[in-house]
Structure 1
Amino acid sequence: MSGNSSHPLPTQGSLQYVSNSSLLPPLAEGEAPTFTRAAQFRVAATLVLFLFAAFSNLALLISVSKGRGRRLASHLRPLIISLATADLMMTFVVMPLDMVWNITVQWYAGDIMCKLLCFLKLFAMQSSAFILVVISLDRHHAILHPLDSLSAHCRNKKMLALAWSLSLLLASPQLFIFRAIKAERVDFTQCVTHGSFQERWQETFYNMFHFVTLYVIPLLVMSLCYTRILIEINRQVHKNKAGEACLRRSGTDMIPKARMKTLKMTIIIVVSFVVCWTPYYLLGIWYWFQPEMLKVTPEYVHHILFVFGNLNTCCDPVIYGLYTPSFRADLAGCWCCRQQNASPRSLDHLSARQVPHSGEQESDAPSVKGPEG
């Protein structure tokens, strides 16, 4: 979680709870870490992801809050807003901090910012995972208990409040275990957990606890939800073939098309989370139980896996856009407004030259401004 580029896995990345105590051995030997070529690639790639994630997630948040996305079902809107908010936390906290920390290599922000930013990094990651769990539980209830939709809004608000509260609680230990420490033999300061654990097993237990709450438990809950959903869909298919009654809103659909479309979207969002972050988590487990792996694993592998994990923050708005015409319409409307706002000067210049010859251009002017209004 720190900026030591020579030991990228324990010192950088979105395994927010990974300890930085492994920084100290190289520092004790008098070898300060440097901004390597692999770390430069990581910064450049993270910058590209940051720009895309910031634009797409802000656009999604605005669309659902103020644009055509407000037509979304009332119980789904808070879920999408919370997911976009969690992704924006990852975008504006984790990515910039990672880029700056890789560039500066050591820590310059002091002890208080060390604690606060490490807390915010883990809080952002925890909230993102827990909100995906809430979305999965909502889809599970919608498919298995379709007649209980009236209570969905209240139920989702309670689950979201619990998700944010748990994220806050689980990230709070970061405020106490991280500190800015200056090396003895080198003019080098780093934000690490050194001295917070008396034994290595305590540090490993802390890391594994957060690994379980951040990845294993959410993955198990989401897998259970979607497994039960698929079993229920399969059961309804067989009931339909047998001529028995099944849940319908039309004569041909066993499950409403809108609900099935939302289900497909959420499944893909969850799959993208698993695909993007699993390699880096597995690398983290390998490090916790065999720290020597840092000596045999190329540095660029750690950086590539971290960048690939951050790709998940960009995937959510893209997936939502593919399944939601209202979001695409808002983006198209925003683009048209930009085009129109950029063109009045040229239009005025054109009309000033051509109006004396014909009245046709005068009638064109309102048509250009029409969509904007």
Structure 2
Amino acid sequence: MAQSGEVNEVVYDHRILRDWSNVNNTNGTMHFSKDMIFNNGHRLSIIVYSILFVISTIGNSTVLFLLTKRRLRGPLRIDIMLMHLAIADLMVTFLLMPLEIVWAWTVQWRSTDLMCRLMSFFRVFGLYLSSFVMVCISLDRYFAILKPLQRSHNRGRTMLAIAWLGSVVCSIPQAFLFHLEEHPDVKGYFQCVTFHSFVNDFVDSLYQIATMCAMYAFPLIAFIYCYGAIYLEIYRKNQRVLKDVIAERFRRSNDDVLSRAKKRTLKMTITIVIVFIICWTPYYFICMWYSLDKSSVDQVNSLVRKALFIFASTNSCMNPLVYGLYNIRGRMNNNNNVSVNNRHTSLSNRLDSSNQLLQKPISTLQHGNGNGNVVAAAVAATTKLAHVVRLKTNGDVQSPAASAPLGSQLDVDDDVSVSVVTIRCQEQTPDQPKAPNIYLK
């Protein structure tokens, strides 16, 4: 092996080089640099991408199958967008990951210039599409929650069409920058590289920054704006509900601002965005660092940079896991809440019946003579209503006072009865006694 000063002993990936690395010719024997031979970086790529390929294929195929079945029953806009997200992740799985595995195994490029340009295009197309579809999902949640009256059947399709078109436009430069080139000192050694594609280093850095903005910074800004506005509006609505005394029972419910379905979908989409940020932020951080200070970044082990890009690719494997987690949890919660909803429906019917009973004059309920029986009937109806209201507001929890005698119930529910019911006397004919009428306050 040649000395470290004569060959490149640091770089493990030729795609981060500015030009061809040097080789050493000793007595007719060529000593390649480490980026030109099978090394630890190639071994890492083969092992990790193979594992990610299996996980992502199973996960995204399952999600796509389930969403297709759901769409046949009744298509929803969010389901269609999640289908496109799964398709984008499958494109990353079937195009980028096999390419990285085979390329790491062969080290050099063993195909034509056309395949070099074509695969360079598809290598980033799935990544762009995944980012842009997540932007569409964020905008869809923004309009669905903040502007529900501005419904448009074509808005979702338009956003998805723009996402696909934008991915094509952003990926096209890759087909012009990457090309097949032969090593100047080693005949027969070809590589798919970007060497000599830029006029100077400034143009190269400008392209790298533009790529980072399109794939990461722009989606990140859209995520922050959409979900920030959503949670700000939810906070304002909660504050208005808390100030409304009439909405006491809604404050105790999970459906005070959003329905359960919307809440679950919102949490799922936000989790997908958080996973995207966690996966891609370290890689783009070091890319930005490299653009600003190349000399200091060169001191970072190249395996670290390789590992960060591989970690970013795990985003395609995490999305189906997030989808499955929230949908399985949603089904479990729906099954557990069936009996609770039935009890709430029964209590509502009892409350409505009690309201109708109290809105009628008590004289129609009691035909006997004497005010004592009339008042006793009124007190019994009032106590029943107060008991039902207490069960409704306390989450259908049986309290000790519920099974107590009538006298003890009056002691416990006295304030509730007085605040709910007003008893007034109505003038009757001289031959009949005055009968109290009961009205809801």
Q: TM-score range by the shorter chain?
A: 0.7 to 0.9
Does the 8 Å CA contact 1:239/1:245 hold for their aligned counterparts?
Answer: no
SS of corresponding position for 1:231:
helix
**CA separation of 1:107 and 1:291: change in aligned 2, threshold 3 A:** farther
Give the partner amino acid of 1:186.
V
SS of corresponding position for 2:191:
strand
Alpha-carbon separation, structure 2, partners of 1:106 and 1:6: 18
Does the 8 Å CA contact 1:134/1:159 hold for their aligned counterparts?
Answer: yes
Residue 103 of structure 1, CA deviation: 1.6
Does the 8 Å CA contact 1:7/1:23 hold for their aligned counterparts?
Answer: no
**CA separation of 1:56 and 1:191: change in aligned 2, threshold 3 A:** same
Give the partner amino acid of 1:40.
R
Alignment gaps of 5+ in structure 1: 12-19, 330-373
- Partner of 2:325 in structure 1? 322
SS of corresponding position for 2:32:
coil
**CA separation of 1:327 and 1:124: change in aligned 2, threshold 3 A:** farther
Whether 2:270 is the aligned partner of 1:267: answer yes
Whether 2:58 is the aligned partner of 1:55: answer yes
Q: Write the deviation string for residues 230-284 of structure 1: whole angstroms up to 9, x where unpaired.
A: 10110011010111999x9x99421111011100000000010010111111112
Alpha-carbon separation, structure 1, partners of 2:245 and 2:80: 36
Does the 8 Å CA contact 2:254/2:260 hold for their aligned counterparts?
Answer: no
**CA separation of 1:5 and 1:73: change in aligned 2, threshold 3 A:** farther
Residue 290 of structure 1, CA deviation: 3.1
**CA separation of 1:251 and 1:227: change in aligned 2, threshold 3 A:** closer
**CA separation of 1:297 and 1:158: change in aligned 2, threshold 3 A:** same
**CA separation of 1:6 and 1:79: change in aligned 2, threshold 3 A:** farther
Alpha-carbon separation, structure 2, partners of 1:5 and 1:218: 37
Whether 2:175 is the aligned partner of 1:171: answer no
Alpha-carbon separation, structure 1, partners of 2:246 and 2:285: 46
Give the partner amino acid of 1:74.
L
SS of corresponding position for 1:147:
coil
Counterpart selection for 2:136 from 104, 119, 134: 134
Identify the range of structure 1 (118-127 vs 261-270) with the bigger mean alpha-carbon deviation: 118-127
Q: Write the deviation string for residues 45-74 of structure 1: whole angstroms up to 9, x where unpaired.
A: 110011010111111111111x34645652
- Partner of 2:181 in structure 1? 181
**CA separation of 1:53 and 1:41: change in aligned 2, threshold 3 A:** same
Residue 113 of structure 1, CA deviation: 0.7
Alignment gaps of 5+ in structure 2: 1-7, 26-30, 333-441
- Partner of 2:288 in structure 1? 285
Alpha-carbon separation, structure 1, partners of 2:246 and 2:139: 25
Does the 8 Å CA contact 1:28/1:183 hold for their aligned counterparts?
Answer: no
- Partner of 1:111 in structure 2? 113
Residue 222 of structure 1, CA deviation: 0.9
Give the partner amino acid of 2:236.
R
Matched residue count: 313
- Partner of 2:228 in structure 1? 227
Residue 41 of structure 1, CA deviation: 2.4
Residue 9 of structure 1, CA deviation: 6.1
Give the partner amino acid of 1:50.
F
Does the 8 Å CA contact 1:129/1:214 hold for their aligned counterparts?
Answer: yes
- Partner of 1:192 in structure 2? 193
Give the partner amino acid of 2:325.
L
Residue 224 of structure 1, CA deviation: 0.7
- Partner of 1:14 in structure 2? none
- Partner of 2:162 in structure 1? 162
Whether 2:272 is the aligned partner of 1:276: answer no
Alpha-carbon separation, structure 2, partners of 1:313 and 1:85: 10
Please identify which structure carries the higher helix content.
1
> Percent of aligned positions with the same letter in both sequences?
34
SS of corresponding position for 2:180:
strand
Q: Write the deviation string for residues 308-334 of structure 1: whole angstroms up to 9, x where unpaired.
A: 1111111101100111249999xxxxx
SS of corresponding position for 1:190:
strand
Identify the range of structure 1 (174-183 vs 250-259) with the bigger mean alpha-carbon deviation: 250-259
Alpha-carbon separation, structure 1, partners of 2:76 and 2:234: 24
Whether 2:21 is the aligned partner of 1:25: answer yes
**CA separation of 1:158 and 1:68: change in aligned 2, threshold 3 A:** closer
**CA separation of 1:244 and 1:75: change in aligned 2, threshold 3 A:** farther
- Partner of 1:353 in structure 2? none
Question: TM-score, normalization: structure 2?
Answer: 0.66
Alpha-carbon separation, structure 1, partners of 2:80 and 2:221: 23
Alpha-carbon separation, structure 1, partners of 2:142 and 2:173: 32
Question: TM-score, normalization: structure 1?
Answer: 0.77
Does the 8 Å CA contact 1:53/1:314 hold for their aligned counterparts?
Answer: yes
Alignment of 1:1-373 (within 5 A): 7-8=11-12, 11=15, 20-26=16-22, 31-32=32-33, 33-65=36-68, 67-68=69-70, 70-71=72-73, 73-148=75-150, 150-151=151-152, 153-187=153-187, 188-243=189-244, 252-293=255-296, 295-325=298-328
Residue 142 of structure 1, CA deviation: 1.1
Residue 6 of structure 1, CA deviation: 5.6
Q: Write the deviation string for residues 285-324 of structure 1: whole angstroms up to 9, x where unpaired.
A: 2223333345421232123212211111111011001112
Identify the range of structure 1 (302-311 vs 121-130) with the bigger mean alpha-carbon deviation: 302-311
Alpha-carbon separation, structure 1, partners of 2:89 and 2:246: 42
- Partner of 1:341 in structure 2? none
**CA separation of 1:244 and 1:184: change in aligned 2, threshold 3 A:** farther
SS of corresponding position for 1:7:
coil
Question: Over aligned residue pairs, what C-alpha RMSD do you find?
Answer: 2.7
Residue 227 of structure 1, CA deviation: 0.6
**CA separation of 1:244 and 1:25: change in aligned 2, threshold 3 A:** farther
Alpha-carbon separation, structure 2, partners of 1:27 and 1:80: 49
Give the partner amino acid of 2:18.
S
Residue 146 of structure 1, CA deviation: 2.4
Does the 8 Å CA contact 2:45/2:100 hold for their aligned counterparts?
Answer: no
